[in-house]
Amino acid sequence: MTRTVLVTGAAGFIGSNFCHYWHKHFPKDLLICLDKLTYAGNLANLAALLEKPQFLFVKGDINDGHLIQKLFDEHDPELVFHFAAESHVDRSIENPGVFLQTNVNGTGVLLENGLRAWQKDFSNRRFIHVSTDEVYGSLGPADPPFDEQTPYAPNSPYAASKAAADHLVRAYNRTYGLPCITTNSSN
């Protein structure tokens, strides 16, 4: 079985490593790799994949609704791995608006297009939202680790924007049945 996989934030550290992993384990799948190539994205991270026939790089912004709609309409991805995000707490303190635009609105654009494209048949479709453990707040040295039952307690504009995106993803799942998974990774 071959699939079409849309990966946002594909040229970033985590997204690019994911693309290499996916191509190694599922070489027949078409990887559509979207990245805005800002401070966090580097096309060199994907250099080994750029010439592969099952790899398509698209420079673009997840806030560009026309581009996202075009990608869904032309390629009909079964899976979306959403890594794209503004990151780094210090940057969010200096310019929170950019974080709201990308992390909240951009996630909304992706969800809307996934819902529109998939609403007739959700089978074999998944929207995987890659978030952060920072939505849960901060841990002291003696604190127990976070888990799925930990209440949200974001402490920065970055964490709050990711928490808002997590809540949007959950709402699209609960309200519309959009098949979503959220991961709250830790570094």
Q: Which residues in 108-156 belong to E strands, given as ranges? A: 126-132
Catalytic (active site) residue 172:
no
Q: Are 81 and 45 in contact (CB under 8 A)?
A: no
CA distance 126 to 77: 9
Distance of CA 148 to the CA centre of its chain: 19
Catalytic (active site) residue 134:
yes
Q: How far apart are the first and last CA of the chain?
A: 33
CB-count burial class (<10 Å; 0-12, 13-18, 19+) for 169: buried
Q: Which of 29, 61, 86, 158 is catalytic?
A: 158
CA distance 183 to 174: 17
Q: Which of 35, 78, 134, 166 is catalytic?
A: 134
Q: Which of 133, 136, 166, 172 is catalytic?
A: 133
Element (H, E) at 37: none
Q: Is the pTM of this model over 0.85?
A: yes
Residue type, 66: H
Q: How does pLDDT run along the chain (187 residues), one tens digit per residue?
A: 699 999 999 999 999 999 999 999 999 999 999 999 999 999 999 999 999 999 999 999 999 999 999 999 999 999 999 999 999 888 889 999 999 999 999 999 999 999 999 999 999 999 999 999 999 999 999 999 999 899 999 999 999 999 999 999 999 999 999 999 999 988 6
